[in-house]
Every structure is written in C-alpha cells, then in structure tokens.
C-alpha cells in the first residue's frame, strides 16, 4: 500500500491530459467498453494491455474519435481533453485529430513521396506559410521520428518503398508533423521485427518529453519497457490502472496477475 | 479397398505396412483421372472459344475488307463553260443552279470519247455504256465543280465510282451466270467492263470515302460510307463521357464513402446492380418517352442518343467505381483521418487517386459498351435515318439528326442490295477496331497506374 500512495502522489504532480469518465462504447447491440475511467497524464507513456478483443484498441480510437467512421459505433460518457469534452456537439473531429495524432498497427504511409507523407498534415492544416517553412517542419518531424538520417537523401522516393520499421517511423513523423499534444499508437510494433521494434520503442521514450503517448500493445514486455502507466483491459472492463512497475510486480486484481503470468489471455 | 489389400501380396516383402508410395491406390487413381478429365474439359472449352473467335474474325475480315476497296473509272471530263456557267462570271450561286442532270451529258461524252480513244469495239449504245457508272457520278462531279469553280472550261481527269454490280463483278461477287435475271446489268455491259479494265481505266483502289463519307440511298451502295455515323457516335460518346463519368463517380463516392448504411441505401444499391442487367431497349423506350415525347428534344439527335446511353452506362460505371473504391485499403483512409484530414480530403487526396485507374477502366469499358449499342437507338430514331451530309458545326453535331456506327451497320444489313452486305461487314471491322482500341487503352491504363500498397 505504501507503493500505491507514492504512485498517487506522482499522478498528482503531473497534469492530467485526458480524463475519461464512465465511458461506454457500443457496437450495435454489443457492449464493447464498460464503465472505463482513466486519467492519462501529460508527458507520460501510458500502455493499454489485455487479451485480444478486450476493447483496448476501441478505447484508444475513442480518444481521437476515429470510431466516428464506424456507423454502428456509439460512445457514452465523458472524455475530457484539457478539460473539454471531445464528444461535445461543438467539437469538430478534424480539429481534434490534429491535436490527438495516431499511429496505426500496420505501417500505412501514403503511396506518395516521403516528403509528401510528412508534409500532408501541415499542408491541410496550413501550418507552413511557405515552402521553406514546410521543409523545416518535414525535417524536424523526420528528426523527431529518428529517421531523418536514413531518408534525407531520398525525400522524393515513395514512402511505400521503405522497410517496415522505417515505414512505421515515417508514420510517426507524419503524426508528429501536425504538432499534436497526444500521440495514440495502436500496436505500433506488431508488424515489425525485433530490431525495428527496438528502434520504435526507443523513439517512443524520446517522444515522451514532448507528448502524452498512449500505446496499445500485445506484448507485456513492451509495455513494461516503454510505459510509466499501464491499464489492463479485460472483456471490455478496465480491470486495473496504475504505475507500470506495480502492475507487473504487484497487481491488485487476480485477473491482472493471471494475465501477466500467462494463465489467461 | 479391395485393391489395397491385394497389392501387398504382389509386392516384395520389404514393402511398407501402409502400402507403397510408388504405387497409386484406387482412390488416388480415380482422383487423378477426375482431375485430368476436368483439365481436358477446360482445354476443350477454351479451344471451342478460340475456334469460334477465329471463325468470326476470318469471316468478318474476308467479308468486310472488300468494302475498303472500290472500283473506279477514270475519265477525262471537259467541263464545258457554256453548260455549267452560262453567264460566264463564275458566280457560285449560278453554278449551283445547274442540277446533277446538267452534268449527265458531260460524263456521257467523256465516256464516249474515252471509248473511242482506247479503240474499244462495242455494240452498246451511249446510254447503256453510261449505266456502268454509279448513279452518284453526276453528283460527285457537281460537288467537285462547286468546290473548284476555277476548273470550269478545263478538261480534268476525274475518278468516277462505278455501279455496285460492276464493282461486284470486279470483286468477283457478280458473275455472268448470277446476272441472268438481273435487269440492271447485261452480259454485254460486263464485256465492256472487261475491255475497260484491260485498258487500265477501270480499276480497284482504296476508297477513303467508305471511312469518311456519308451514307447513300438504296440505289447507290457504292457511294455509301460510315464517316458521318462515326461522327454521330463520337458526339454521343462525348455526351456519355460528359454526363456518365461525373454523375457515376459522384454517386459512387457518396454511396461508398459518405452514405449511411440503412435500408434506403441498401435499396439503391440493389437497384443499381439490377439496372446493369436491364435490357438496353428498355432504356431506349425510356428515352423515347422522356427525352422526345416529354422534353421534346429533336428526334434522331446524338444528344438524345447520348442521354439514353448515359442512362445505360451509369450502372456499369457506378459498379466499377465502387469496386475500385472498395479496393483501396481502409488503412489509407485511417492514415488520412489520423492526421486530421476531413473525410472529403481523405477521399479526394488519397482514395480517389488510388481508385482512378479502376474508375477509368470501368468508364472506358462502359463507353465501349455504349459505342456498340444498337437497340436503344432503334427507338429514338437513329436507325433508318440516311445521314447524307456531315453535320456543320458542333451544335449541329449534337442536335441535327444523325446515325451511329452500329445503327448504320444494322441499317446496311437490312437493305436488299448485296453490295450493302459487304459494307455492313466493313462497318463491323471499323467498329471492332474502335472497341479493341478502347479496351486496349483500358488495359494499358490499369497496368500503368496500378499501385501496390
């Protein structure tokens, strides 16, 4: 219990970026997410773990309203970004997604040049006044995604021609180019080999200094390596949420323990 | 099973317990036999298809190539000024007053003097000699004079079309036996034709007028060409392209990307698929009822034909466009939405460019289908119309009565004179060249722009 109190103190010390209260998600008649309350801190990596189909990706997609594209999906409850309800009628999801960027499971660069991939977001949001500003944004974003040195000589080459790990880092560069405040990552390493995974994980750790990162992962080792906070989902419920170290060493809920030790999931 | 139990007896004793892999058991044999039988059926089916295609193509080529050649009689015609331009001031209006009958004596005397010059002996009267020429000969000469009024007074060498019977004789279609009951030509005239041919003034040559010219009346198959109906088809295709592509693409994008999934959109979807299978003549009668009877658009006009064919082509374009939009992986949409693009930006910046080759292919195939369509044109009066002059100007091209290539072919195949039959096949060759070209473009576009992701 001593550990817990210390954890709560750390939570208080950092600003809450996203607060989800009582979130319910329905796919038609299926109740996919039940009563989830999560506080995601700024400049922290938060990992969502849990068995397949437990709703962690669904919940992640609620955070930037990507579920809006699914007709039968319905979200209830409040999700507050900096205290503003993102499901409020006045919120335009397009504006929200510029603030809350996303990286997907499968690297999905546009079938365009590397430059255009990164420049697309700034272009549609009007972040650059002229070509040289845009060039700066592209370079800065590619540097942040730790891929600049590998692609600086071939910015005109198609993004789809890169290797899997490079593609995923390109997608991260694309996501950070719009200057988001939160970065959502949906199993960003599941299609990558161990070396590329290591590179992306290192990158996630660096990104923590600027953004609030939320990562969904199947690999518990990955969650343990990159995150400070971990949420364990099971069958649509948020079973446990807390300091990563504590979830993995001393979980409160027996279900968390079973999952972590490999007895379920 | 009995086979399996018998084989071990015949085989060496070292044989594996479950039977040797070197010997096929009865089941495997049956299975392999069935497989090779099926392969044979497949090869036979393809063979039959290929054979049909070869028969069809050879048939079309042998029957149709004749239409591209025509027999001509070359004569030196003296364009007498006192006959053609009595006032002598070369006023085009005065020259136009001389009707085609006024040119008949010029041609007759030209033919007579040519016969005399070549030393051809014949019992034929001047009138009977003139009969070997086409009925269009005088009009041809008149058009030439009106186009070149300065030539009046000179003697010009002019290439006249000959009668379709004579042309048929030159091409081997008409023989001395086959004309036994034919009142329009006699054996003596054919002898005369032989003499002219031997003298080198009557010969076969490539006939550009078949490709570029206008249709002609029943009596003058030798003068008929497909050019004007080709223009009719062109104007119809412009209408189809201008309407069906934007409407079809907009409809498919809305249905595929924006429309909510509900009963109404389901009904629309099912109906679009059904419309693709509706017989084209139904679209024809719809066009007759709506565009001609109700909206009073001009009958036989390529505009109306194009509108009808647009209705017919739309389902094809919508179905292929939706298929190619569906084929764009959802991850591309997610990627665009994820960086904060609006739905429309995601569609127009990313999805549509990726779907474009598929959309273009579908459109070209839809256009090719529309180009070859005859049935709806029957009902809006584009069949049976004799387009004797090319339309003057773009607006007239859309609004003045015209025919279309397949309608023209159908029209020729109906007519009595066997010379038209040859032209129908020739028209088919031209139509096929267009269709094959369009389909090749479609295939090339698909190859060229196909992207992997």
Q: What is the pLDDT of residues A89-127, one digit of tens each?
A: 898 888 899 889 999 988 999 999 999 999 999 999 888
Q: Are B129 and B192 in contact (CB under 8 A)?
A: yes
CB contact under 8 A, B338 and A101: yes
Do A104 and B260 count as a contact with CB atoms less than 8 A apart? no
Phi, psi of A30 (to 5 degrees): -80, 130
Structure tokens belonging to residue A251 = 């979980």
Confidence category of residue A10, pLDDT binned at 50, 70, 90 = very low
Q: Which of A72, A101, A160 sits opposite B339 (nearest CB)?
A: A101
Domain ranges (residues) in chain B:
2-64, 68-208, 227-449
Closest CA to B371 of B286, B446, B429, B432: B432
Q: How many angstroms separate the most distant Cα atoms in chain A? A: 57
Rounded to 5 degrees, φ, ψ at B67 are -65, -25
Residue B238: pLDDT band by 50, 70, 90 thresholds? Answer: very high
Say yes or no to pLDDT of A87 above 80: yes
* B122 secondary structure, DSSP code: -
Q: Among B337, B341, B453, whose Cβ lies nearest the Cβ of A66?
A: B337
Angle at A127 between CA A124 and CA A129, to 5 degrees: 105
Asked if residues B351 and B378 have their Cβ atoms less than 8 Å apart, the reply is no
- Would you call A65 an interface residue with chain B, using a CB distance cutoff of 8 Å? no
Q: How far apart are CA B360 and CA B146, in angstroms?
A: 46
Confidence of residue B451 (pLDDT cuts 50, 70, 90): low
* Residue A85 pLDDT greater than 60, yes or no: yes
Residue A48 reports pLDDT greater than 60? yes
Residue located via tokens 């205290």: A83
- What's the pLDDT at A4? 46
Say whether B345 and A124 touch across the interface (CB within 8 A).
yes
Span B330-350, average pLDDT: 91
Cα B372 to Cα B334: distance, rounded to the nearest angstrom: 41
- Predicted local distance difference test score (pLDDT) of residue A60: 92
How close does chain B come to A145, measured CA to CA in Å?
A: 15
B329–A71 C-beta distance less than 8 A? no
Residue range A122-157, pLDDT digits in tens? 999 888 889 999 999 999 999 888 889 899 999 999
**A203-207, B30-34, B61-65 — most confident range:** B30-34
Q: Quote the minimal CA–CA distance from B362 to chain A in Å.
A: 22
- Whether A227 contacts A241, CB under 8 Å: no
pTM of the model: 0.81
Cβ–Cβ under 8 Å, residues A215 and A47:
yes
* Average of per-residue pLDDT values in chain B: 87
Residue B449's pLDDT band (cuts 50, 70, 90): confident
What distance in Å separates residue A247's CA from the closest CA in chain B? 30
Asked if A171's CB is within 8 angstroms of B340's CB, the reply is no
Residue in chain B lying closest to A177 (CA):
B339
Neighbours of A260 (CB within 10 A): 20
Q: Hey, which residues does A216 pair with through a beta bridge? A: A48, A186
Q: Which of B266, B333, B338 to mutate to test the interface with A (most CBs of A within 10 A)?
A: B338
Q: Which residues contact A159 (CB under 8 A, 6 or more apart)?
A: A109, A110, A111, A112, A113, A114, A116, A117, A167, A170
| B257 CB-near residues (< 8 Å, 6+ apart) | B325, B343, B347, B351
Residue with tokens 């997604």, as numbered in its chain: A97
Three-state DSSP class for A154?
Answer: coil
Q: Give how far A113 is from chain B: nearest CA, Å.
A: 13
Does pLDDT of B250 surpass 90?
yes
A27–chain B Cβ distance below 8 A for any pair? no
Residue A111 touches partner B, C-beta closer than 8 Å: yes
In sequence order, the 6+-apart residues with CB closer than 8 A to the CB of B363 are B241, B244, B245, B248, B317, B320
d(CA A195, CA A172): 17
Instruction: State the Cα–Cα distance between residues B210 and B68, nearest whole angstrom.
Output: 6
Put simply, whether A69 touches B (Cβ < 8 Å) is yes
Q: Calculate how close chain A gets to B261, using CA atoms only, in Å.
A: 7
Beta bridge partners of A25: A33, A75
- In angstroms, the Cα distances linking B79 to A142, A239, B110, B416 are 84, 107, 10, 35
Assess A215–B contact: CB distance below 8 Å, yes or no. no
Q: What's the confidence (pLDDT) of residue A265? A: 61
- Res B152: pLDDT: 83
Q: Quick: pLDDT tens for B374-426.
A: 899 988 888 866 667 788 888 888 988 888 999 999 999 988 888 898 899 99
DSSP states of B49-102: HHHHHHHHHHHHHHHHGGGGEEEEEEEEEE--HHHH-TT-S--HHHHHHS-GGG
* B132/B126 Cα distance (integer angstroms): 11
Residue-wise burial string across B133-172, b where 16 or more C-beta atoms lie within 10 A, e elsewhere = bbbbbbbbbbeebeeebeebeeebebebbbbbbbbbbbbe
pLDDT above 60 (res A3): no
Tokens of residue B84, six digits: 């053609």
List pLDDT tens digits, range B177-198. Answer: 888 888 888 888 888 888 888 8
Chain B residue with CA closest to A160: the answer is B453
- Please list every residue in chain B whose beta carbon sits closer than 8 Å to the beta carbon of residue A97: 337-340
Please answer whether residues B135 and B116 qualify as being in contact, where contact means their C-beta atoms are separated by less than 8 angstroms. no
Specify the length of chain B in residues. Answer: 453
Mutual orientation of helices B227-253 and B405-414 as an angle, nearest 10°? 130
Residue pair A50/A220 in contact (Cβ under 8 Å)? The answer is: no
- Please report the pLDDT score of residue B453 as a whole number: 46
Residue A8's pLDDT is 45
* Residue A166 pLDDT exceeds 80: yes
CB contacts, 8 Å: A72 with chain B: 261
A183 close contact with B: CB closer than 8 A:
no
d(CA A170, CA B361): 32
Residues of A in contact with B342 (CB under 8 A): 94
CB contact under 8 A, A178 and B332: no
Per-residue b or e along B84-112, where b marks 16 or more CB atoms closer than 10 Å to that residue's CB? bbeeeeeeeeebeebeeeebbebbeebbe
CB pairs under 8 A between A and B: 68
Please say if the pLDDT value at position B246 is more than 90. yes
Across the interface, whether the CB atoms of B335 and A104 are under 8 A apart is answered yes
Output the pLDDT for position B10. Answer: 52
Asked if B191 and B122 count as a contact pair (C-beta separation under 8 A), the reply is yes
Query: What is the pLDDT confidence band of residue B452, given thresholds at 50, 70 and 90?
Result: low
| Per-residue confidence (pLDDT) for residue A226, from 0 to 100 | 92
Of the candidates B74, B69, B99, B95, the one whose C-alpha atom is nearest the C-alpha of residue B84 is: B95
* Distance, CA of B321 to CA of B316 (rounded, Å): 8
**Contact B337/A100 with Cβ under 8 angstroms?**
no
Mean pLDDT (whole number) for B432-443:
91
Given the DSSP bridges, would you call strands A212-216 and A45-49 parallel, antiparallel or unpaired? parallel
State the average pLDDT for chain A.
87
Determine the pLDDT at residue B340: 87
On whether any CB of chain B is under 8 Å from the CB of A231, the answer is no
* A125 touches B at CB < 8 Å: yes
Give chain A's domains with CATH numbers. Answer: 2-108+182-260 (3.40.50.300)
For residue B331, the chain A residue with the least C-alpha distance is A108
A98 touches chain B (CB under 8 A): yes
- In tens, the pLDDT along B223-236 reads 888 999 999 999 99
Average pLDDT over residues B133-152: 86
pLDDT at B127: 81
| CB of A57 closer than 8 Å to CB of A112 | no
**Is B227-449 a CATH 3.40.47.10 domain?**
no
Q: Is A74 helix (H, G, I), strand (E, B) or coil?
A: strand
Instruction: Choose the closest CB to B354 out of A111, A174, A177.
Output: A111
């Amino acid at each position: 219990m001593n550990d817990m109190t210390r954890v709560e103190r750390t939570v208080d010390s950092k600003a809450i970026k996203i607060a989800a209260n009582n979130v319910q998600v329905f796919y038609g008649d299926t109740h996919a997410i039940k009563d989830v309350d999560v506080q995601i801190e700024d400049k922290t990596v938060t990992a969502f773990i849990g068995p397949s189909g437990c709703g962690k990706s669904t919940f992640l997609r609620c955070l930037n309203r990507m579920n809006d594209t699914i007709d039968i999906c319905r979200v209830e409850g409040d999700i507050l970004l900096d205290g503003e309800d993102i499901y409020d009628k006045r919120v335009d999801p397009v504006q929200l997604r510029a603030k809350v960027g996303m990286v997907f499971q499968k690297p999905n660069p546009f079938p365009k040049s590397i430059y255009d991939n990164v420049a697309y977001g700034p272009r549609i949001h009007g972040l650059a006044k002229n070509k040289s500003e845009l060039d700066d944004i592209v370079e800065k974003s590619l540097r942040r995604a730790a891929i600049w040195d590998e692609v600086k000589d071939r910015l005109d080459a198609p993004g789809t021609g890169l290797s899997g790990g490079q593609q995923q880092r390109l997608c991260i560069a694309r996501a950070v180019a719009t200057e988001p405040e939160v970065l959502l990552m949906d199993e960003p390493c599941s299609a990558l080999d161990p070396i590329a995974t290591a590179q992306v994980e290192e990158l996630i750790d660096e990104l923590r200094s600027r953004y609030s990162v939320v990562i969904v992962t199947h690999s518990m080792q990955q969650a343990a390596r990159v995150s400070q906070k971990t949420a364990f989902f099971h069958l649509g419920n948020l079973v446990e949420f807390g300091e990563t170290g504590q979830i993995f060493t001393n979980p409160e809920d027996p279900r968390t323990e079973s999952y972590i030790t490999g007895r379920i999931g | 099973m009995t086979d399996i139990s018998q084989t071990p007896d015949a085989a060496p004793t070292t044989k594996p317990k479950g039977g040797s892999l070197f010997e096929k058991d009865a089941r495997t044999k049956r299975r392999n036999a069935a497989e090779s039988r099926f392969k044979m059926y497949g090869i036979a089916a393809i063979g039959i298809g290929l054979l049909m295609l070869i028969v069809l193509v050879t048939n079309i080529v042998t029957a149709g190539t004749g239409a591209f050649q025509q027999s001509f009689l070359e004569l030196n015609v003296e364009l007498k000024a006192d006959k053609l331009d009595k006032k002598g001031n070369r006023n085009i209006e005065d020259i136009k007053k001389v009707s085609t009958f006024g040119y008949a004596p010029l041609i007759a005397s030209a033919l007579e003097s040519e016969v005399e010059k070549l030393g051809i002996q014949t019992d034929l009267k001047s009138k009977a000699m003139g009969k070997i020429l086409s009925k269009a000969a005088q009009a041809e000469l008149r058009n030439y004079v009106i186009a070149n009024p300065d030539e009046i007074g000179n003697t010009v060498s002019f290439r006249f079309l000959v009668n379709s019977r004579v042309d048929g004789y030159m091409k081997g279609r008409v023989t001395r036996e086959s004309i036994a009951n034919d009142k329009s030509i006699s054996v003596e005239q054919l002898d005369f034709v032989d003499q002219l041919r031997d003298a080198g003034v009557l010969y076969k040559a490539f006939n550009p007028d078949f490709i570029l010219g206008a249709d002609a009346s029943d009596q003058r198959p030798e003068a008929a060409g497909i050019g004007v109906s080709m223009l009719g088809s062109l104007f119809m295709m412009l209408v189809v392209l201008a309407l069906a592509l934007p409407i079809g693409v907009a409809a498919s994008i809305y249905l595929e990307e924006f429309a909510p999934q509900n009963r109404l959109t389901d009904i629309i979807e099912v109906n679009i698929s059904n419309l693709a299978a509706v017989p084209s003549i139904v679209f024809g009668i719809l066009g007759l009822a709506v565009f001609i009877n109700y909206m009073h658009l001009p009958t036989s006009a390529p505009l109306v034909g194009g509108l009808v064919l647009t209705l017919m082509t739309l389902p094809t374009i919508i179905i292929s466009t939706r298929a190619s939009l569906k084929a764009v992986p959802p991850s591309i949409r997610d990627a665009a939405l994820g960086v904060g693009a609006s739905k429309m930006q995601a569609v127009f910046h990313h999805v549509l460019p990726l779907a474009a080759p598929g959309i273009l292919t579908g459109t070209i195939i839809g256009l090719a289908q529309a180009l070859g369509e005859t049935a709806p044109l029957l009902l809006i009066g584009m069949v049976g119309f004799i387009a004797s002059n090319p339309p003057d100007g773009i607006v007239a091209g859309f609004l003045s009565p015209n025919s279309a290539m397949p309608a023209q072919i159908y029209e020729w195949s109906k007519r009595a004179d066997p010379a038209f039959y040859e032209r129908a096949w020739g028209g088919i060759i031209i139509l096929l060249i267009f269709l094959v070209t369009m389909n090749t473009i479609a295939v090339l576009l698909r190859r060229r722009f196909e992207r992997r992701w």
